[in-house]
Chains A and B, each alone.
Chain A
Amino acid sequence: MLELIIAVILSSIPIMLAATGELVVERSGVLNLGVEGMMLMGAVIASITVITTGSLFLAVIFGALSGLLTSIVFGFFALVLATNQVATGLALTIFGTGLSGLIGAEYVGKAIQRLEAFNIPILSNIPYLGPVLFSHNILVYFSFIIVFIVGWFLLKTKSGLVLRAVGNNHDSAHALGYSVVFIRFCSVMFGGLMAGLGGAFLPLVLTPHWAEGMTAGKGWIALALVVFASWRPLRIPIGALLFSGITVMQLVGQARGWAMPSQFLSMLPYLATIAVLVIISRNKEFSIINAPASLGKLFIAGK
């Protein structure tokens, strides 16, 4: 049982990181559908780094930075040149998928050193709770901490207020003298950094090898998570854990031979997501209030 809970926590991390980043991006009024592409870039660069240098530390850093670099491409087109955000985001996913496959081609079929978990002294000896909460690798702790930092930043700091203002009404924010494009560009880069880190988690922890397209749709799950969380940071880990919890539960159901069609069990995580979305959207206070009003809208200064 403990093994399974640990598996749930681990497989929730990539979508949690990417979704936290995308939440900040969307809160600033930008819809970046390129999460999948940025995650793949993070995954491939982290793989290459660890294969060539042997350093897991550098792999984490470069993986995250490559997501950031990829997001700059998006930022340049969607924010500076004011192209359509949906089209640009989709293009970024296609670009990231293709480029990661190209530069990763030589590194296919090579095993990677795994980022090891470590036990936090004393705490990890607590029965049950210890192994579940206090013996993970550093990225797991970081992911949960960053969610709280983002929550604090967005809701409790002045900069966070400005960022939300830009997302809610870019014209007013512009009139007040805030640089909409600059603030959004910073958000997009943070989103890229988190997506790259989430991508890097896949080859460094979950499946220690590089395989083309290894995210297998996790970027899209992360996007759905942001809506699921109704743009509230602290709901991201809940959604991520719920999603991967149900994914793992349906696998357990199959292994134990539960009398349910496995196609239905495979659908469960998505059904649960839809069900929660329906429940959330029935409550207007939950959803509409938090949705950034300028999300996805073009901004051209002085227009």
Chain B
Amino acid sequence: MKKLYTILLISISSLFIAFSSFAAPLKVGFVYLTTPGDHGWTYAHERARVILEEKFGDKIETTYVENVPEGPDATRVIRELANQGNQLIFTTSFGYMDPTIKVAKEFPDKHFVHVTGYKRSDNVATSNIRFHEGRYIQGVAAGLMTKSNKIGYIASFPIPEVIMGINAFTQGLKSVNSDATVSVIWAMTWYDPGKEADAAKVHIAEGADVLAQHTDTPAMLQTAEEKGAYGFGQGSDMESFAPKAQLFASVNHWDISYIEHIEAALDGTWAAKAAGGNWDTWCSMKDNCLSVTELKNMPADATAKVQAVADSISSGSFDVFQGPIITNEGKVVAGGATLNDGDLWGMNYYVQGVIGKIPN
């Protein structure tokens, strides 16, 4: 009799454990550089997180930590998220690369996805978007819309991704307007609305009539709107800030690659996919990771040309780093060939059409 009870108890409790492990949602953590209030970079990640919650419902449970500085603090926050039982952790800024690798070593059973980095391991995958595709299209639009043939570009920090963006933009610009040049101001910050606005004013005072940016706020576009210049939204649609100035915006869709990671984590295939540091996603317009908003404020023929370029990139039939690629010092990097991903990450030159030198 006693034995029967024991068996019953064991079976019930094992049933309970089995049931609870089925019902327990997958815990997913996010580390944000700023807050969703930036209306740019982090805002795009937050939008993806909300899409994930809607899609997976009670199968997942997400948490996020905002305003995490890149550095030792990040290590602490990522470790804390792992300790809290988050099985899958997304770290959403370049500077979290080493902290992510470090914490991942301490938690070999947990899954980590680092955004925009290049270091991977058995349990660290990377995810990135080919932002430069959107910037090429911006360059085409800028080349068609400029009257002064001077384009102002506001950049953040001289890292490969930003340089890639400037070069892609300029390749697009040169494809339709060989007289136009790009002047670059390095703001040395991702986020300072006042400085971004000042940089935009300076570009316009120096004669630029189309502006592009690799910083995070709508300040540049608002200045363009005030002064009657054109510009592009970056990261998310900024039309409400500059209805007359925004030609279009490049919008990031992180949910596409995040969904893949969550599905793999849910069906238990994540570890196998990432094994050996082999899971890297660098997805493009073709994969719907990047899109451009409706083209506006352009004459019909320019709209048609820009749309055609956008279509050829999103169908995958055109690569924005198709040669010839010539540096602004006259060196031929690629004659007719297309640059491969390794070439892109090693980019340390400006292409023809950009004024000045890259700060080192």
Contacts and interface: CB of A to CB of B under 8 A. Distances in A.
Contacts of B38: 211-212
Interface string A163-202: 0000000000000000000000000000000000000001
A105 B38 CA distance: 10
Interface string B186-206: 111101111111110111111
Contacts, number: 125
A47 to B, nearest CB: 12
Interface stretch (B215-223, B252-260, B265-273): B215-223
Interface in A214-232: 214-218
Interface string A248-260: 1001101111010
A104 interface: yes
Given A110-B240, A257-B356, A263-B359, A252 B202 contact: yes
A110 B222 CA distance: 12
B159 interface: no
Given A110-B240, A111-B240, A207-B222, A255 B203 contact: yes
Contact of B206 (A105, A108, A252): A252
A204 to B, nearest CB: 12
Interface in B221-251: 222-223, 226, 240-242
Nearest to A254: B185
A208 B218 CA distance: 9
Contacts of A212: 34-35, 37-38
B191 A213 contact: yes
Contact of A266 (B183, B188, B193, B206): B188
A84 B359 CA distance: 43
Interface stretch (A3-11, A27-35, A275-283): A3-11
A64 to B, nearest CB: 19
A216 B226 contact: no
Contacts of A110: 240
Interface of B: 34-39, 43, 152, 183-189, 191-199, 201-206, 208, 217-219, 222-223, 226, 240-242, 355-357, 359-360
Interface of A: 1, 3-4, 7, 11, 14, 101, 104-105, 108-111, 114, 202, 206-209, 211-218, 244, 247-248, 251-252, 254-257, 259, 261-263, 266
Given A216-B193, A247-B195, A263-B188, 10 more contacts: A4-B202, A11-B198, A207-B222, A211-B39, A214-B194, A247-B198, A254-B183, A255-B202, A261-B359, A261-B360
Nearest 8 CB-CB pairs, A to B? A212-B37, A257-B356, A3-B205, A216-B192, A207-B193, A262-B186, A207-B219, A251-B202
